[in-house]
Structure 1
Amino acid sequence: MTAPRTSCGCPFPLILPGSDVTAAVSLFARALAIIDVQVTGLHPDKDSIWEVAVLHVEGGLVVARHVWLLKPACALPARVSHVCGVLPAELADQPCFAEVAVELARCLEGRVVVGHNLRVAHAFLRHGFARAGLRVRYRQLCTLQLARAVWPDLPCHSLDALCEGQGISRFFKHRALPDAEAVWQLLSTLLTQVQAERLQRQLRKAAVPRFLTAERLQAVPSRPGVYYFYGENQALLYVGKSRNLHQRVQSHFQNDHHSRRSLQMAQQVRDIRVQPTAGELGALLLESAEVKRLLPLYNRQLRRQRDLLTWVLIPGIEGLQPELQAVGCSVIGGNSVGLFRSRRQAQAWLRSEASRSQLCLRVLGLERGNGACFATQLGVCRGACCGLESREAHDLRLLAACEQLRVATWPWSGPVAWVERDLVQGLSHWHVLDQWRHVTTVDDPALIGAALQQPGQAFSLDAYHILLSHLRRFPQTEVVVL
């Protein structure tokens, strides 16, 4: 008997000896939407869709084709125009995504959406639908993930490589409709070799990145700690922390459409490692230290920073004089005001406060000269520079202006250990601290003495904020004075 053929000329999957017939049968019992999306770049927030094609498959047959040529919200890059054979002028008079969003949503709603490297298309679709005020629900099946499961030893699983390897003819590449046709033919080939159980796992793991397994994500514990994302050749991509590692790790792959960086990172993750901690404080401190030590590719906020500067209010014969000093390893607090990453940032802040509080830039040492400053003539300075105002009154306003950024004084005379305990897991950590510096964390108090003999750690702005915030939130923190 001749196998029935789809309307695209592709035969209904021929079940090979030893394969699982229920895989194709179970999938073709569902309504499918084979999709391909062409975009201007990889940034879902800044780039845009310019072409979409959807094939409706029911009972193993293509019953309808839908193609939209769209006007992108950004310029069409020259390389995209060259590779895809489309001119910007062809798109100028086309509708934008929002104008076809409702129609496209109807084509996808309630179906199993099938695409190659579907995470990218899904990211752009979710972003576009969200802007249009729509929420579209559909199951997902990625032929890239399915191909990796069926043919794990292939050197490349791109659509071009798989079509060439499987003898799938393509009348054109890198356009939505012919690529969607190629995905449909690839799916038909895959269904001749995949087991039904594996297919069902692929349908359930829409939020699993292509290089990981659902079992690996499920193994991440639901407890506080730090997680590490590794890419190819064990390159460290990202270090993060959470009170619930399992939920946080999952969220990376469920929300990777929010930015280009998160989308790219999710595409590259090949391995995950975790380091449990006794609580949130330990996770925060460990993440901050590890990012500075390891410099992961996708971390930005906590990476190694320059030496910090602070304004120190030095009492003199005439009154208080701000002096910019490096934080270094010296004791800070008391008369220290602000923590700045550069001299320019520090001076800009002091000038802003001087303007807001009518302080004299000449008295503050930010301008040179004698007698009344120019700001006095403008009414911006109250005249501490020329005797119109007493220095005591000027210093009182200076102290009030500095109060908000005054560096907190270390509450103890020397180093201490903050104790954090996880009673459920039976884990305790001693965070050794001195002058708002995180010296180390140990799980045995007998190791504290050796830790204190190590060279002093540089002051970290991140650790300072972490410790100060924790102390304000949990004033009853268990403290051991060393």
Structure 2
Amino acid sequence: MYAIVDIETTGGHASANGITEIAILIHNGKEVIEQFRSLINPGIPIPIYIQSLTGINNEMVSVAPRFNEVARQIYDLLYDKIFVAHNVNFDFSFLHYHLAAAGFHLQSKKLCTVRLSRKIIPGLASYSLGRLCTEVGIEISERHRAMGDAEATSKLFSMLLEKDIDGHINKTLNPRSKEQSLPPHLPKEDMDKLPPVSGIYYFHNNKSKVIYVGKARNIKKRVTSHFANNKPGKQKQEFLRDIHHISFQECGTELMAFILEAIEIKRLWPAYNRSLKRFEHAYGLYSFDDQNGYLRLAVDKRNKFSKPIYTFNRILDGHVLIKSLIADFNLCPKLCFVQRNNEPCISINEQICKKACEQLESPESYNERVQNALSNLRSALPGFMVIDDGRNLDERSCILMEEGQFYGMGYIPADIIDKDTSDLKKHLTQYPSNDYIKNLIFNYSLRFPLKIRSKSTSISTEIPDV
């Protein structure tokens, strides 16, 4: 037995909206044998645009029963039936949520006439209820009213039962099938193509724009988990409705998947990704020439228009570093903004500063020491490769760090691992570096030192704060 359901609501997600009308048609596989219809008082005002769409206004529902007053009758009609609707997860999420609030736990097998129509009547321009019914010659008596849409869905379902020569309905009802949990517009073929390997995956909307990027140790398992529940919140419901297609990229290792996810989120800026969009250290070490030709060093807040030499989570870390450069290379604390008052330079008496702040040392002489300090700082940053599993036995994955910066990554033939770095670079894709990626790689290098290859004869595995 099937319960063909349609509801009208005050909005698109159950947790903050109410039901204004419900229609249930009990279908025995051949015809409708019972029906139920009722306006529902949602307990909240109906938005004007919803009133315009459905024709249901606040006055009409003011004398209608509250949902909890008819919850028992609705549950008794649904609990032992197969739940059928056009975009079934929308209707089911509302009824599951509001029945639970009334003390009833609805657990039903589900069939979505959107998904079934795509399989049984393929090739149509649209599978919205109105356009689909027009295509197949089904008349809708009251569009956007519960009973009118439910009757049209019932006629469509009867047609699908008749045309289902390949058994798609029974396959969907198979307990091992997860198809009924998929978003209404997502082809099952996209799920079938997903591999059980490390990588990243992309959710696309109806215009093929990427709306979400995720990483996974097992792409197929992770994507399936997105659809394992049907939470009634706005974000989840809008997210599911927007997914029309899935694509993916395999990665040799989980670390590469983490890195590629961060790169793609920065590049594509997907609407439903919240994390990793703005992960950057807050402070940086900068250099610039002043009006007198002296090369200045400064620790300042990061901004997107400048490229720091070094980065820090805390401004204190920046001050510690710049003070060590002053002491080691005889730099002026005033020209490095460590001393900001108008008093004489504190380092002149200590014979650290050579009076560049008083312009008694030439810019050329002072700048040479600043450049030496910066060169020493860059050379202290580690350069190494992470060599790990590839996507198959004939290749290895390679992640390259140069002077503490992420250069890029890719896959190299297994027989050229010991070649010079310049040869390996031909097989790598260069990517932009950021603090999140650098921290990932530095932490990984400490956890798995046997996977690290130095670019030279030695390698530092100390993690700098960059």
Normalising to structure 1: TM-score of the pair? 0.66
**2: CA distance between counterparts of 1:118 and 1:478?**
49
Cα–Cα, structure 1 residues 157 and 458, in superposed 2: closer, same or farther, change >3 Å? closer
**2: CA distance between counterparts of 1:133 and 1:79?**
31
1:27-46 matched pairs, under 5 angstroms: 31-46=1-16
Equivalence for 1:431: 399
Residue 47 of structure 1 and its aligned partner are, at CA, apart by 3.2
Equivalence for 1:394: none
Equivalence for 2:453: 480
Residue 36 of structure 1 and its aligned partner are, at CA, apart by 0.4
Residue 187 of structure 1 and its aligned partner are, at CA, apart by 1.4
**1: CA distance between counterparts of 2:313 and 2:151?**
71
Residue 124 of structure 1 and its aligned partner are, at CA, apart by 2.8
**Helix, strand or coil: the match of 1:192?**
helix
Residue 168 of structure 1 and its aligned partner are, at CA, apart by 3.1
List per-residue Cα deviations over 1:246-270 (Å, max 9, x = no partner): 1111122333545444433433434
1:35-74 matched pairs, under 5 angstroms: 35-58=5-28, 60-72=30-42, 74=44
Cα–Cα, structure 1 residues 156 and 274, in superposed 2: closer, same or farther, change >3 Å? closer
Cα–Cα, structure 1 residues 456 and 151, in superposed 2: closer, same or farther, change >3 Å? closer
Match of 1:157 among 121, 127, 133: 127
**2: CA distance between counterparts of 1:422 and 1:135?**
48
List per-residue Cα deviations over 1:50-82 (Å, max 9, x = no partner): 222211223534332223433336531101112
Equivalence for 1:186: 156
User: Bigger shift: 328-337 or 178-187?
Assistant: 328-337
Equivalence for 2:307: 328
Cα–Cα, structure 1 residues 87 and 233, in superposed 2: closer, same or farther, change >3 Å? closer
Instruction: Report if aligned partners of 2:409, 2:429 keep a CA contact under 8 Å in 1.
Output: no
Residue 83 of structure 1 and its aligned partner are, at CA, apart by 2.0
List per-residue Cα deviations over 1:338-375 (Å, max 9, x = no partner): 89xxxxxxxxxxxxxxxxxxxxxxxxx9xx99xxxxxx
Residue type at the aligned position of 1:296: P
**1: CA distance between counterparts of 2:272 and 2:313?**
37
Instruction: Report if aligned partners of 1:49, 1:70 keep a CA contact under 8 Å in 2.
Output: yes
Match of 2:240 among 237, 259, 266: 266
Residue 141 of structure 1 and its aligned partner are, at CA, apart by 1.5
Residue 86 of structure 1 and its aligned partner are, at CA, apart by 1.3
Residue type at the aligned position of 2:406: H
Equivalence for 1:440: 408
Instruction: Report if aligned partners of 1:442, 1:448 keep a CA contact under 8 Å in 2.
Output: no
User: Bigger shift: 443-452 or 69-78?
Assistant: 443-452
**2: CA distance between counterparts of 1:49 and 1:426?**
58
Query: Is 2:391 the counterpart of 1:418?
Result: no
User: Bigger shift: 277-286 or 267-276?
Assistant: 267-276
**1: CA distance between counterparts of 2:317 and 2:36?**
60
Instruction: Report if aligned partners of 2:115, 2:184 keep a CA contact under 8 Å in 1.
Output: yes
Residue type at the aligned position of 1:449: S
**1: CA distance between counterparts of 2:138 and 2:429?**
64
Match of 2:205 among 231, 234, 255: 231
User: Bigger shift: 251-260 or 169-178?
Assistant: 251-260
**2: CA distance between counterparts of 1:159 and 1:167?**
12
Match of 1:252 among 210, 223, 226: 226
**Helix, strand or coil: the match of 1:251?**
helix
**2: CA distance between counterparts of 1:146 and 1:225?**
30
1:444-455 matched pairs, under 5 angstroms: 444=412, 445=417, 448-449=421-422
Task: Give aligned-pair identity as a percent.
Answer: 25
**2: CA distance between counterparts of 1:56 and 1:177?**
12
**2: CA distance between counterparts of 1:437 and 1:325?**
19
Instruction: Report if aligned partners of 1:223, 1:276 keep a CA contact under 8 Å in 2.
Output: yes
Instruction: Report if aligned partners of 2:381, 2:404 keep a CA contact under 8 Å in 1.
Output: no
Cα–Cα, structure 1 residues 455 and 199, in superposed 2: closer, same or farther, change >3 Å? closer
Equivalence for 1:115: 85
Residue 160 of structure 1 and its aligned partner are, at CA, apart by 1.7
Residue type at the aligned position of 2:397: H
List per-residue Cα deviations over 1:103-147 (Å, max 9, x = no partner): 433322232111112232233334445555654221112222222
**2: CA distance between counterparts of 1:254 and 1:142?**
16
Instruction: Report if aligned partners of 1:416, 1:479 keep a CA contact under 8 Å in 2.
Output: yes
Instruction: Report if aligned partners of 1:227, 1:245 keep a CA contact under 8 Å in 2.
Output: yes
**Helix, strand or coil: the match of 1:273?**
strand
**2: CA distance between counterparts of 1:263 and 1:75?**
21
Instruction: Report if aligned partners of 1:224, 1:276 keep a CA contact under 8 Å in 2.
Output: yes
Residue 172 of structure 1 and its aligned partner are, at CA, apart by 1.8
**Helix, strand or coil: the match of 1:206?**
helix
**2: CA distance between counterparts of 1:334 and 1:66?**
62
**Helix, strand or coil: the match of 1:173?**
coil
Structure 1: state its 5+ residue gaps. 1-30, 313-321, 340-364, 370-408
Residue 212 of structure 1 and its aligned partner are, at CA, apart by 4.0
Residue 442 of structure 1 and its aligned partner are, at CA, apart by 1.8
Residue 284 of structure 1 and its aligned partner are, at CA, apart by 0.8
Residue type at the aligned position of 2:282: L
Cα–Cα, structure 1 residues 333 and 297, in superposed 2: closer, same or farther, change >3 Å? closer
Cα–Cα, structure 1 residues 38 and 455, in superposed 2: closer, same or farther, change >3 Å? closer
Instruction: Report if aligned partners of 1:310, 1:338 keep a CA contact under 8 Å in 2.
Output: no
Cα–Cα, structure 1 residues 411 and 420, in superposed 2: closer, same or farther, change >3 Å? farther
**1: CA distance between counterparts of 2:236 and 2:402?**
36
Match of 1:222 among 187, 196, 210: 196
Instruction: Report if aligned partners of 1:226, 1:241 keep a CA contact under 8 Å in 2.
Output: yes
List per-residue Cα deviations over 1:404-458 (Å, max 9, x = no partner): xxxxx99973222223336997763222235664321121255953687999976
Match of 1:287 among 250, 256, 261: 261
Query: Is 2:181 the counterpart of 1:207?
Result: yes
User: Bigger shift: 62-71 or 179-188?
Assistant: 62-71
Equivalence for 2:353: none
**Helix, strand or coil: the match of 2:310?**
coil
